[in-house]
Amino acid sequence: MTARSQRILFWALVWFCILILSVPTIIVVGASFTTANMISFPPEGFTLKWYEKIALARDLQQAFIRSLIVSTVCLIVSVPVGTLAGLALSRFKLRFANAIQIYLLLPFTVPLIGSGIGMMLIFGEWRVLGSLWPVGVALAVINLPFIIWSVSSSAGALDGDLELAASSCGAGRFETFWFVTVPGVMPGIITGGLLMFVLAMSEFLVSLLLTDARTVTLPVQIYNNIRSIITPDLAAVSSVFVVIALLAVWLLDRLVGLEIFLKSK
Amino acid sequence: MTNQIAAQNSATQSPREVAVRASHVTMDFGGVLAVNDASFELEKGRFLTILGPSGSGKTTLLRMIAGFQKQTAGEITINGKPVDAAPPHRRSIGMVFQKLALFPHMTAAENVAFPLKMRRFNPRQIAGRVDQFLDLVKLGGYGNRRINELSGGQQQRVAIARALVFEPDLLLLDEPLAALDVKLREEMQLEFRRIQHELGVTTINVTHDQREALVVSDNIIVMDGGRIQQQAEPVELYRAPENPFVAGFLGLSSFVEGTATADGNMQVGDLVVQGEPADDFAAGTKVLAAIRAEQIRLAGTREALGNCDMKLEGRVSDTIFEGERQMYVVEVGALSGATFRVYHHDPDSFGLFHVGDTVALGWNRRDLKIFSPAA
C-alpha cells in the first residue's frame, strides 16, 4: 500500500517524463500545420499546405524512396546475419563468445563518425561509393547488435528440449532449424528487423558520409534543406517520420506484442 | 482404427522377443560415471520403468537410448540392431519430455502431424491419422487449439499423441508426470497404461516416483549412483529387494544393524532376530535388516498380536497421522534402541496409542530381510 502523497509524487514524475520525452515531437508536428512561412511554435493558424508541398517536392520524394531502398538492403543483410549470429551466441557454448559480442559491438561503440569514415574509405577503395546498396550494408553492420540482442533474448527464452523433440520426431538438423528454431525466435527476428528498418530510415551521420548528390537519403536531404532556410515543410517531413515510427510500433504490437519487445534487451 | 494398430502389433510380435538391449553401457562425464556398466533387456510390448532418485543416472540412460547423448562405453540395440551410430531422427523412437516440449507456434493437430511430415508419410493419410491419434488420447475436436489454450492434462495428451503417431518401435517417457498435481498425475498414469496396452508399444519410463513405477510398469529397474540396483517385476521388486537401497527406496522400511549368526539370522546384543537372508554372508559379519512399515503388527500386549514369528516390546516415540493411515514410531530397547516405523491402517483405531505408551510389535520371519550392508 502506497500512501496518497507517494502516489501523487509517482504520477507527477511519470507525467513529467512523458511530457519531456514527447515535447520535441509535439513541437515538430504542431509546427508543420503553421500558416507562417517560417517554422514557429505554437503554430499560427492551421494549414496542410506544407504536406502538399512535400508531396510534390521531387527531391524529397526521391530521397524518401532512396531511404526505403537503403532500409530494405539493410534488412536483407541484417536479418539472416543477425538471426544466425544471435542464435549461435545464445544456443552454442562458443569459445570467445564474450569477445565476439564485444567485437560485434565495435562499429556501434566507436564514435559513428569514426565508423563512417572507415566505411567511406573501404567502399571508396572498392569503387562502390555512389551506389545505394553500400549505405544499406554499412547501416546493417553498425546496427547489427540490436537484432543480435533481440534474437538472442528470444532464443534464450526458448526451451532447449524443443530441438531434441523435433529430432525425435524425425527432423534432421536443417528441418529442426527451419520448422522449430526459426519460428521459436520469430518474435526476436521481427522485433530486431523492425528496429533495423526504422534505424536505417532515420540514420544520418554515416549516411551523410556515404552518399553524394545523386544518392542522398531522406535525413541527409532534410539536413541539406535546413542549411539553406528552415521552412515548415521540414516540420512536415519530420512529422511523416514520426508517423512511420508509430506505424512500426503498431506493426510490432500486432505481430509479436509490445511486452515481448520491451522484455528483449 | 486403434484396434487395428493393436492387432498389427500383437501379430508382428512373437513372445519373448527382445526390443531393447543395453550391454555394459557407461557414461563418463570427465571422471564422473553418470551411468556405470548398465546392462538390461526389455521384451517387446512391455512397459519398463527406470526408477531412481535424482542424480541416479536414469535420465542419462534414457537420453542415450534416445540418441541425444552418446555413451562412452557399451552398446545399445533396438530390435536387434545397434543404434549407436544413428542420430536421434534416424531412430524410430517417440519421446514425451519432462516439460513436454510441444511446439508453441503450432496447433495441437500440427504438433501431432509434425512427425508424420518429417518421416515422409503419405500426405493424404496425415490428416486422418492425426485425428485417429487425437481420438486415442481423448482429444478429438481439440486439433485446432493452440498449445497455450490447452490445460496441463490436455497438453500431456498432445505430447503422447505426437510421440506415438508414427508408431515408433519404442516410446520413451522422461518424467512427463513429475510436474502435475497428484490427482492429475494418478489419472495420467492410468492413461499411459491404457494407451500402452491398446497400442502394445514397447515403453521405457523414467521416474523418481515409486508409486508411479509400481502402478504403470510390467518391469522395473531401480538405479542409484549410476548403477542398476535391481531389475524385477513390481510385486517381486517390492517383495524381495536384493539390497538395502532397494528396500529403503520402495515403500517405507525400518533398518536394524546386527551381526550374522551361523543359521542366517541376525544377532543384536543377546537377542537373535529371525529373518530371511537376502544375500550370502558369513557368520559374525556385520549385517543390516530391513522390514516394511506395513509388515509390522502393533498391539497393546503380546497376546493381542496373534500369530507372529517375532514379538517384541517397545515404546511409542512419535505418532504421525497421514489421513488414510496412522504411522507410529516405536523404539525397541531390546534391539539397542532401534526405531521401527509402523503403519496402522484401521480407521477405528487411529489415535489408539500415544507417545510414551508401551506397545507390542510383531512380524513374520519372511518379512524381515537381512542384507550384507556393503552390497
How much of chain A exceeds pLDDT 70, in percent? Answer: 95
| Region for residue B223 given its phi and psi (left: phi exceeds 0; alpha: psi -120 to 50; beta: otherwise) | beta
Return the residue of A nearest to B159 by Cα: A165
Return the residue of B nearest to A162 by Cα: B101
A158 touching B (Cβ < 8 Å): no
Asked whether residue A115 is assigned to any structural domain, the reply reads yes
Map residue A122 onto helix, strand or coil: helix
pLDDT for B6 equals 46
Peptide bond connecting A134 to the previous residue in cis, omega within 30 degrees of 0: no
Rounded Cα distance between B313 and B326, Å, is 19
**What is the number of domains present in chain A?**
1
pLDDT for A258 equals 61
Residue linked to cell 517531413: A237
Alpha-carbon torsion (B82, B86, B87, B89), positive or negative: negative
- pLDDT tens track of chain A, all 265 residues? 568 889 999 999 999 999 999 998 888 888 888 888 887 778 888 888 888 888 888 888 899 999 999 999 999 999 999 999 999 888 777 777 778 878 877 777 788 888 889 999 999 999 888 889 999 999 999 999 889 988 988 888 888 899 999 999 999 999 999 999 999 999 899 989 998 999 999 899 999 999 988 889 999 988 888 877 778 888 888 888 888 888 888 888 888 766 555 554 3
CB-based burial label for B156 (10 Å; 0-12, 13-18, 19+): buried
- Give residue-wise pLDDT tens across range B260-280: 988 888 989 888 898 888 888
φ/ψ of residue B172, rounded to 5: -115, 135
Q: Are B127 and B96 in contact (CB under 8 A)?
A: no
pLDDT for B11 equals 44
What is the interface size between A and B, counted as CB pairs within 8 Å? Answer: 64
Chain B contacts of A168, Cβ < 8 Å? 66, 88-89, 91, 93-95, 163, 172
Chain B contacts of A176, Cβ < 8 Å? 89
Q: Which residues pair with B331 in a beta bridge?
A: B315, B339
Chain A contacts of B94, Cβ < 8 Å? 168
Return the residue of A nearest to B101 by Cα: A162
Asked whether residue A11 is assigned to any structural domain, the reply reads no
Q: Which domains does chain B have, with CATH numbers?
A: 2-239 (3.40.50.300), 252-371 (2.40.50.100)
Return the residue of B nearest to A161 by Cα: B101
Rounded Cα distance between A92 and A88, Å, is 6
CA distances from B3 to B133, B199, B230 (A): 12, 8, 35
Chain A contacts of B111, Cβ < 8 Å? none
Query: How many residues make up chain A in this entry?
Result: 265
- Low-confidence spans in chain B with pLDDT less than 70: 1-15, 374-375
A174 touching B (Cβ < 8 Å): no
Asked whether residue A2 is assigned to any structural domain, the reply reads no
Query: Is the CB of A175 less than 8 angstroms away from the CB of B118?
Result: yes
A159 touching B (Cβ < 8 Å): yes
- Give residue-wise pLDDT tens across range A3-30: 888 999 999 999 999 999 999 888 888 8
Asked whether residue A37 is assigned to any structural domain, the reply reads no
Asked whether residue A217 is assigned to any structural domain, the reply reads yes
- Give residue-wise pLDDT tens across range A56-100: 888 888 999 999 999 999 999 999 999 999 998 887 777 777 788
pLDDT for A171 equals 94
Listed in sequence order, the residues at least 6 apart from A2 whose beta carbon sits closer than 8 Å to its beta carbon are A10
Asked whether residue A80 is assigned to any structural domain, the reply reads yes
| Region for residue B341 given its phi and psi (left: phi exceeds 0; alpha: psi -120 to 50; beta: otherwise) | beta
Shortest Cα distance from A184 to chain B (angstroms)? 7
Asked whether residue A70 is assigned to any structural domain, the reply reads yes
Asked whether residue A15 is assigned to any structural domain, the reply reads no
* CATH number assigned to the domain comprising residue A249: 1.10.3720.10
ipTM of the complex: 0.81
Structural domain for A208, as ranges: 57-263
B296 touching A (Cβ < 8 Å): no
pLDDT for A264 equals 44
pLDDT for B313 equals 92
